[in-house]
Amino acid sequence: MENTINGIHHITAIAGNAKRNHNFYTNVLGQRLVKKTVNFDDPETYHLYYGDKNGTPGSILTFFPWEGIRSGRRGSRQATEIGYSVPKGSLDFWLNRFEKHNVIYNKVAEKFGEEYLTVLDPDGLKLELTVSKTEDNRLPWETEEVKAENAIKGFHNVTITTNKIQPTADILTNVFGYKLLEQSVNRYRFVTDAVDNANIVDLVEVAGEMAGHVAGGSVHHVAFRVPNEEVLMYFRQKVAALGLHITDKIDRNYFYSLYFREPGGVLFEIATDNPGFAVDEPVEELGQNLKLPAQHERLRSSLEKSLPSLV
């Protein structure tokens, strides 16, 4: 098995109201609720996973919804934009849909030869719907209102804002195997050819930018994808050899993880494809039931009463 980083595995962000978050991602954006579980470190709080039909790595955006949390602030030392891939010709559909649902959006723009539409989720998280110039054949989740010809395919890219790109770029290139593809002013696009999609990281260098504050509407961490635990531990050795603190392997039920903070300040995770989201419920039932890790199963009765309704 080749030791490669296979692009983005998932991205985790912070929300406020859980019901509002669920409505936006499942109803407005047409994503599937792939997993309804709890924050393993704070079981009184949901951990919600949204993605495609099968919960494929590279499509999964997850949230910790903490009711009443104050809003974060975008700035340096942060992942500041999440890019989704959408089909060619779909942006008018999305413009009309955001207008209908009173969603904050900006006019269509272009970077690196790709059209994109910027939109803010209800907590202010910045999303971009991008028409990729690379063919994207991933099969999306469909709803009654969002059909395949317009539906989100999965991630296109993630953007990190930093005061100095070189330390973060060194991790991407020397550790993760990414390459600098192109540059436009202060935006540098890095890509891995290990996979065809969800394989882009943009670094934006703003020397004088104040550090952002991670809270509501912010990205908590970016997780990169490996096939299994053997490759996971290979990358642990590579990161540790640089003198960076990296966690021991952590069992997240649906993947195994390592965490470290890259020199630019963003929390990175490396996560395995195995065992996947169908390990505790069939694909047809993904997201329908509250799933708890073994250590919190004893709390099921109280959690089912205390966790807020999502519908």
Range of the domain at 265: 8-306
pTM listed for this prediction: 0.97
pLDDT, tens digit, for every residue of 126-142? 999 999 999 999 999 99
Q: Decide: 199 and 136 in contact? Cβ < 8 Å.
A: no
pLDDT, tens digit, for every residue of 220-242? 999 999 999 999 999 999 999 99
Residue 1 lies in a domain: no
Confidence of residue 311 (pLDDT cuts 50, 70, 90): very high
Helices within the chain (DSSP H only): 18-22, 91-100, 165-170, 229-240, 300-306
pLDDT, tens digit, for every residue of 175-229? 999 999 999 999 999 999 999 999 999 999 999 999 999 999 999 999 999 999 9
Residue 125 lies in a domain: yes
Residue 294 lies in a domain: yes
pLDDT of residue 1: 52
Q: Residue 286 corresponds to which amino acid?
A: L
Residue 209 lies in a domain: yes
- The CATH number for 175's domain is 3.10.180.10
Residue 145 lies in a domain: yes
Arithmetic mean of pLDDT over the chain: 97
Instruction: Please report which helix (H) or strand (E) contains residue 221, including its range.
Output: strand 219-226
pLDDT of residue 2: 82
Per the structure block, which two tokens stand in for 29?
């954006």
Please, which residues have CB within 8 angstroms of residue 76's CB and are 6 or more apart in sequence?
Answer: 161, 162, 163, 206, 209, 210, 211, 212, 265
Half-sphere exposure of 108 (CA within 13 A, CB side): 16
pLDDT, tens digit, for every residue of 70-112? 999 999 999 999 999 999 999 999 999 999 999 999 999 999 9
Number of domains the chain is built from: 1
Higher pLDDT, 80 or 1: 80
